[in-house]
Chain A
Amino acid sequence: MFKHIIRRLFSTTFLLLAVSFFTFWLMHATPGNFFDSMRLNPQISKETVDRYEKLYHLKDPLMVQYTHWVINILHGEWGYSLYYNVPVTHVLGSRLFNTFILSFASLLLTWGIAIPLGIWAALRHNQWVDRTLSLFSFAAFSTPGFFLAVLVLYAASRWGGLPLGGMHSPNYDDMGLIERIGDTVLHLVIPATVLSLSSMASLQRIMRGNMLGVLRQQYILAARAKGLPEGVVIYRHALRNAFNPLVTLLGYEFAALLSGAALIEIVCSWPGLGSLLLTAVRSKDVFLVMSSTLLASVLLIIGNWLADILLTLVDPRIRYGKEN
């Protein structure tokens, strides 16, 4: 197990380096940088712009710039956001937290609803419940999340009840703690629901498929033949086995959530990592782009690791490091 962790850490570090270099190279492949718009401004002298470019090493060769960046990251120095004019960590910290809230809420919503629905559909296989759920999940799976978000916002603007985008009400600063939490939750409803809908649909289908597969196994027949009550057969014997493969999905689910969340964040103007990256890309804010891509990749890796660890916990047959 220990050897496995070391090997994994090593390959992850290597991959992170590769990803960051790739992003860095992409940012530099285009002509122009953040200060080009300043150059056009007659009120800013050429010397000032040149000084800034020198300060951020923007005119150095690619490898030199990249080395600077890596060394600084290793010192915990994430760079300075040119667009927001504050250290990158300032912006990233709060944005990361917001994205995390959104992803966590929709993950809870997805798993809390999809798993029971999947079991229900499998137990009513080919009856109307199952068919309706199938149809519904197919439609939900194919609905573009960003479009659904627009539709829901439109509905909310028509009939009211829920805040339209953003994360806080204007009077957030005057609220007590409980009210603040309530306010955020209220703002979460639309983005979290929209975000979880399509993953809910696919998870429900997978859960149903697994459950149906397990229910056909011999040991279920044996359990029934032994005279165990149906509830015990389903919830103790079938469910645990049907659930195991889903745990690996959790990691990927997290990745998909991050991606999906980016668009929904932009549409619902939720101040998260995705909308931050969009602004950063548009304004060519190199360090911000680098940091948010890096952070998103790290999140994804953590998600996959968690999934692997969870899997060893649920399924005692899997032991890493003792392959073959």
Chain B
Amino acid sequence: MEKKIKPRGRISLAFASLRRNRFSMLCLWALSVLYGLAICADFVCPYGYQDEDRDFSYCPPTAIEFLDHGKLVRPFIYGRTLTFDAVHRRVYVNDYRQKYSLHFLTGGRLFGVDPPSRFYIWGADARGRDLFSRIWYGARISLSIGLLGVIISFVLGLLIGGIAGYYGGWVDNILMRLCEMFMMVPGFYLMLALRAAVPENFNSVQVYVSVVVILALIGWASLARIIRGMALSLRERDFVLVAKTLGVPDIIIIIKHILPQTISFSCATLMLTVSSYILAEAGLSMVGLGIQDPVPSWGNLLSDAMEIVPVIFAPWILLPGLFIFIAVMCFNVIGDALRDAFDPMFREGI
């Protein structure tokens, strides 16, 4: 009996090869965890992102106690009182008379303690807001902003590159000059200039949208140029001629026949671009031009850390940087693995 062999496309082959790469699978899992926690932030985090208590300014991470007088009890934390040391620095001292036990699954939150005490797994910021909660609420913004920006700049880049390469001539000339215009200004400078056009009194949603648009505008040009080069050679191929003879409209030829041929390149680039956008958003927000304060993003969480004094006394405010690093690294690893997977020439491990 003849065994039927299912034909496999390039994409499924590439994903099969990706699955064999253990490190990139690990990164894929790590990313899923980050995204998962960001989505479930309302449940996972003990506090809202705006929930502040100035009595706990820069409160260090809280230790969870399991033993009370040598006996194993339900996990609890000690209350803390604020004292000042000889040079008037804030020092939080455990008050062993007050005990607050941790509850789980109360009030729609995964865990928490009763007020007036507060539970800071990863410490508090200047206004006594829980860094753990703010990191996961911030992840919603930092992780989605890159994706949205990439989607827009990919649609722009693919379409413009495809059109320029397919038509050639003066269309190509004009579109490519436009690309060069965007590529000629160094990225961060372009970002600042674009940001200058955004009014100061925007609300948080408007700022979010404008940051997405800014990100999208800095990245599309280089992609469009490469896609244009590919389209330039693809349009000479026989299948395009066939489509033309059959009377398929130009735009359909570009979208359905030319652009899918560039998928292997764009898939890998997509991942690498997401990581650069996450970095760009973080940079912009850190210097105070991106997402504005009460709303957290990984970038503006780090803006406190730009001065050295808070970092010395509260090193935990550096934590968001670690998450930026993890997210960026994961996207880079996956992008790199995808590029290798799509490109048979690199299979031998160059």
Cross-chain contact of A142 among B194, B275, B318 (Cβ < 8 A): B275
Contact between chains at A26 and B287 (CB < 8 Å): no
Chain A binding surface SS class: helix
Contact between chains at B302 and A263 (CB < 8 Å): no
A266 at the interface (CB under 8 A from B): yes
1/0 per residue, CB under 8 A from A, across B188-205: the answer is 110011111111100000
Contact between chains at A26 and B185 (CB < 8 Å): no
A138-B333, A262-B188, A262-B189 known; A26-B197 Cβ under 8 A: yes
Contact between chains at A164 and B325 (CB < 8 Å): no
Considering only CB atoms, which chain B residue lies closest to A147 in the complex?
Answer: B321
A184 at the interface (CB under 8 A from B): no
Contact between chains at B306 and A258 (CB < 8 Å): no
A89 at the interface (CB under 8 A from B): no
Residues of B within 8 A of A157 (CB): 308, 311-312
Residues of A within 8 A of B311 (CB): 150, 153-154, 157
Residues of B within 8 A of A16 (CB): 184
Residues of A within 8 A of B333 (CB): 138
A147-B321, A147-B325 known; A15-B195 Cβ under 8 A: no
Contact between chains at B332 and A150 (CB < 8 Å): no
The distance from the CB of B174 to the nearest CB of chain A, in whole angstroms, is: 11
B18 at the interface (CB under 8 A from A): no
Considering only CB atoms, which chain B residue lies closest to A126 in the complex?
Answer: B349
A239 at the interface (CB under 8 A from B): no
Q: State A209–B343 Cα separation when bound (angstroms).
A: 14
Contact between chains at A266 and B287 (CB < 8 Å): yes
A277 at the interface (CB under 8 A from B): yes
Considering only CB atoms, which chain A residue lies closest to B329 in the complex?
Answer: A142
Q: State A296–B186 Cα separation when bound (angstroms).
A: 7
A175 at the interface (CB under 8 A from B): no
Residues of B within 8 A of A281 (CB): 192-193, 195-196, 289
Contact between chains at B189 and A259 (CB < 8 Å): yes
Residues of A within 8 A of B189 (CB): 258-259, 262, 274, 277, 292-293, 296-297
Q: State A146–B189 Cα separation when bound (angstroms).
A: 16
B168 at the interface (CB under 8 A from A): no
Contact between chains at A11 and B312 (CB < 8 Å): no
A141 at the interface (CB under 8 A from B): yes
A15-B181, A293-B189 known; A30-B198 Cβ under 8 A: yes
Contact between chains at B325 and A144 (CB < 8 Å): yes
Residues of B within 8 A of A146 (CB): 282-283, 286, 302
Chain B residues packing against A (C-beta within 8 Å): 177, 180-181, 184-189, 192-200, 275, 279, 282-283, 286-289, 302, 305-306, 308, 311-312, 315, 318, 321, 324-325, 328-329, 332-333, 336, 349-350
